Amino acid sequence: MRWESLWLAAALATAGCATKKNIYDASEQPPAVPGVTAAPPKPPTVIVTPATGTRGRITSVNLTARHVVVSYPIGIPLPVVDQKLFVYRAGLKVAELKVSKERIDVNLVADITSGECRAGDEVRPD
């Protein structure tokens, strides 16, 4: 009895699959319109613009020693020693920095040469 029901189930499954027709048949072409040629679809145009400058954020400020710690995203080259950087808050320039030699991973120390800095300010070269 088991073998008979197994054979019956297999026969029904095969018969059901054999009667279905593929809806999307690649051999069928749409009717041709005289004077019109079909152009292949164009791939989408992707424009990638890399960041032009290095931008960091001030993570801590020591007003007594007049230096700040600037953190940069991973993969962005850090500024060189003695490079001049500018600090921006809400789009306005508020201070100038000079990069020191102390750096660890993506953090560096810079001396405040003029102006006022706060944690969270944006740092970039001009």
Which of 88 and 2 is assigned the larger pLDDT?
88
pLDDT at 41: 75
pLDDT at 100: 95
Which of 25 and 80 is assigned the larger pLDDT?
80
The pTM for the full model equals 0.58
Structural domain spans, the chain: 56-124
Q: What is the mean pLDDT of residues 37-60?
A: 76
Closest C-alpha to 56, from 17, 25, 86: 86
Contact 120, 58 (CB under 8 A): yes
Q: How confident is the model at residue 43 (pLDDT cuts 50, 70, 90)?
A: confident
33: tokens are 């319109």
Residue 35 main-chain phi, psi, to 5 deg? 85, 0
Residue 92 main-chain phi, psi, to 5 deg? -105, 140
Q: With H, G, I as helix, E, B as strand and everything else as coil, classify residue 120.
A: coil
Q: Rounded to whole angstroms, how far apart are CA atoms 117 and 62?
A: 9
pLDDT at 27: 60
pLDDT at 62: 95
Does the domain at 56-124 match CATH 2.40.10.170? Answer given as: yes
What is the overall mean pLDDT for the chain? 82
